[in-house]
Structure 1
Amino acid sequence: MKQAMLIVNPSSGKEKGQEYCEHALETMTTMGYKTELRITEGEGDAMDFAREACERKFDFVAAMGGDGTINEAINGIAEQDHRPQVGLIPLGTVNDFARALNIPMNPEEAIDIFRHNHVQRTDVGKINDRYFINIVAVGALAEASFSTPVEQKSKLGPLAYIIEGMKKMKEKQPFELKVHSDHDWEGDALLMLVALTNSVGGMETIAPEAKVNDGKLHVFVIKDVALPHFLLLLPKILSGELAESEHVHYMKVTNLEASSSYKMIANVDGDEGDKLPITIENLKQHLDILVPPTE
């Protein structure tokens, strides 16, 4: 019998994670899986459970939770030689990775797509010795996501990040940045975004060209500009034209190195990551993820 693991963060989605467990377990049983249920209790649990599933050569791993839980599960799988198929059940504030894969935001609908067994080969990013599934950002604005209070995220959703970002934006803290890749860049910047997907902070217009399987890092460096010029970038973000601004350096690469003389900390999928310097690469089509069938 095929083996599967269901990893659940019970505190995600206003603590509704366990409500959907029965539906997920029933679905996985009808698919022919003998499923083991794992409930996370703290940071790192989802990664450990996913790693265990790989080491035991499981066929399928489903992760139920927010972006943090899903990121942990992917980190546990991406480093392994044996990588099971992955199912995502989004319960978070933004759910960027699930959005990019067209996975329904309704958890029950997300579970139901498992039955179709439609696989999308999907890129994974690697930053130094850890993995990411959506974005790496550097700059004072990037720190907004991991400084946003949890209560505010729960109440306001993606709007919470925007509010915190506006506070940071008024501080306007440029930093010296060097980016080395096929296309080098050096200068003072307000923000560097490295996107794997088209969904960033719940918005799908920042990196509209980004595909989950194109093997590319989509890099946006927002130069040090006066606040009025920075504010004028917002309409370009909403219209999907950020890359065309004279105040933005855009490049599409497979890997890069970024460094700074300032003490900058990378934001990795919304959480605090490594200090610069950092090395980032795209692992093309590294994972098999179940997605809605194409029409």
Structure 2
Amino acid sequence: MKQAMVILNPSSGNEAANDYKAEIVEVVSDKGYNVTVKETKKQDDATAFAEEAVNEGYDYVVGAGGDGTINEVITGLAKYDNQPLFSFVPFGTVNDFARAIGIPLKPKAAIAWLKEADTEQRVDIGKVNDRYFVNVVALGAVAEATYDVGVEQKTRLGPLAYYIEGAKTLAENKIYPLTFKVGGETIEEEAFLVIIGMTNSIAGFERIATDAKLDDGHMHVFIVKKLAGFDIMTVLPSVLAGEFKDHEKVHYIKTNELTIESTQSLHTNIDGDEGDDLPLHLTVLPKHIRLLKK
């Protein structure tokens, strides 16, 4: 009989993930799998469980948790060529990867989607230094501000919690001297914010990288320059209209490899969690994950 592993973070979604464990197991079992459930207790548990699934020859891995948990599962799978199929049920605050795939954000609907998932698609992921990412790498004051969002804020406000903290940095409008090396070219920019996205959905906005596809082999880079008062008023409408890359204060780059350096110390945010300091070397791993989707 085929083997499946469900990797579940019981604290995700204000502990809602644990409430749906039995339903997830039932759906996976009905697909013809013998199911093993692994529950995370600390950081990197999901990565270790995913590696275990690969090494023990599991056929299917299903994640259940927030953006950080899903990143950990994919990190565990990404190291290997002989990967099992992968699906997930999102219980996060923003759930960008789920949005890009088309997975419903409500648990009941997401589990119903999982039940009907029967098509394999190879999807891209990114690698930044020695880490993997599926959604976004961000740097700048806005990215750092997301570290201040607490669990209670996320539970109460959802994605709005991140927007509120990010908005606090707009008045300061701090910029950073950055060097981008891409395609044999060196680009110098003074940037307020840099966003590197793998899919169309970034920070819950599904029209930032409108050209992005799950398997296009590229990352989509948005370098936001210093914003004056009126610029701030025009950025959000450009995002909502799907015209962010065309904004006069945005330098857009589409590439499969990129290096970012700075003379200043600058932290990053990788898939919603604290990432490496600069310098960064980013590459695309094309069609690297065996996604099972509807």
TM-score category by the smaller chain? over 0.9
Q: Could you tell me which amino acid in structure 2 is paired with residue 232 of structure 1?
A: T
Per the alignment, residue 267 of structure 1 pairs with 269
Query: 1:172–1:227: 8 Å Cα contact kept in structure 2?
Result: no
How far 1:228 moved relative to its partner? 3.0
- 1-structure distance, mates of 2:187, 2:172: 24
Q: Give the deviation of 1:147 after TM superposition.
A: 2.0
2:173–2:227 contact (8 Å) kept in structure 1:
no
How many residues in Structure 1 have an aligned counterpart in Structure 2? 292
- Deviating runs (4+, > 4 A) in structure 1? none
SS of the counterpart of 2:77?
helix
Q: How does 1:113-262 map to 2 (within 5 A)?
A: 113-116=113-116, 117-182=118-183, 184-262=186-264
Amino acid at match of 2:72: E
Range 282-291 or range 253-262, more displaced = 282-291
| Cα contact 2:89–2:114 (8 A) shared by 1 | no
Matched ranges for 1:7-156 at <5 A: 7-116=7-116, 117-156=118-157
* Structure 1 residue 114, shift from structure 2 partner: 3.4
Counting aligned pairs with the same residue, the percent is 45
Q: Which runs of 5+ in 1 are unaligned?
A: none
Partner SS for 1:275? coil
Gaps of 5+ in 2: none
Give, in whole Å, the separation in 2 of the partners of 1:132 and 1:38: 22
| Residues 249-269 of structure 1: per-residue CA shift (max 9 Å, x gap) | 101001100000110011101
Residue 207 of structure 2 aligns with an amino acid whose one-letter code is: T
Q: Deviations over 1:148-205 (max 9, x none)?
A: 1221111001111110011111121100001101254212110111000111111112
Q: Which moved more, 1:250-259 or 1:23-32?
A: 23-32
How large is the Cα RMSD of the aligned pairs? 1.2
1:285 to 284, 287, 291: 287
Deviation at 1:107, TM superposition (A): 2.0
What secondary structure does 2:283 align onto? strand
The 2-side partners of 1:159 and 1:115 are apart by 30
Instruction: Using structure 2 for the length normalisation, give the TM-score.
Output: 0.96
Q: CA shift at 1:35, angstroms?
A: 1.1
Shift of 1:115: 3.8
Greater Cα shift, 184-193 or 224-233: 224-233
CA distance in 1, matches of 2:236, 2:114: 37
Output the CA distance in 2 between the equivalents of 1:130 and 1:231. 35
Secondary structure of the residue that 1:81 maps to in structure 2?
Answer: coil
- Structure 2 CA distance, aligned partners of 1:153 and 1:184? 39
Q: Decide which moves more: 119-128 or 220-229.
A: 220-229
CA shift for structure 1 position 12: 0.9
2:229, 2:264 → 1: CA distance? 21
Asked if 1 retains the 8 angstrom alpha-carbon contact of 2:88 and 2:114, the reply is no
Q: Report the alpha carbon displacement of residue 23 of structure 1 after superposing the two structures with TM.
A: 1.2
Aligned-partner Cα distance in 2 for 1:261–1:231: 30
SS in 1 for 2:168: helix
Q: Matched residues in 1 for 2:197 and 2:186: separation?
A: 17
Rounded Cα–Cα distance in structure 1 between residues aligned with 2:125 and 2:119: 19
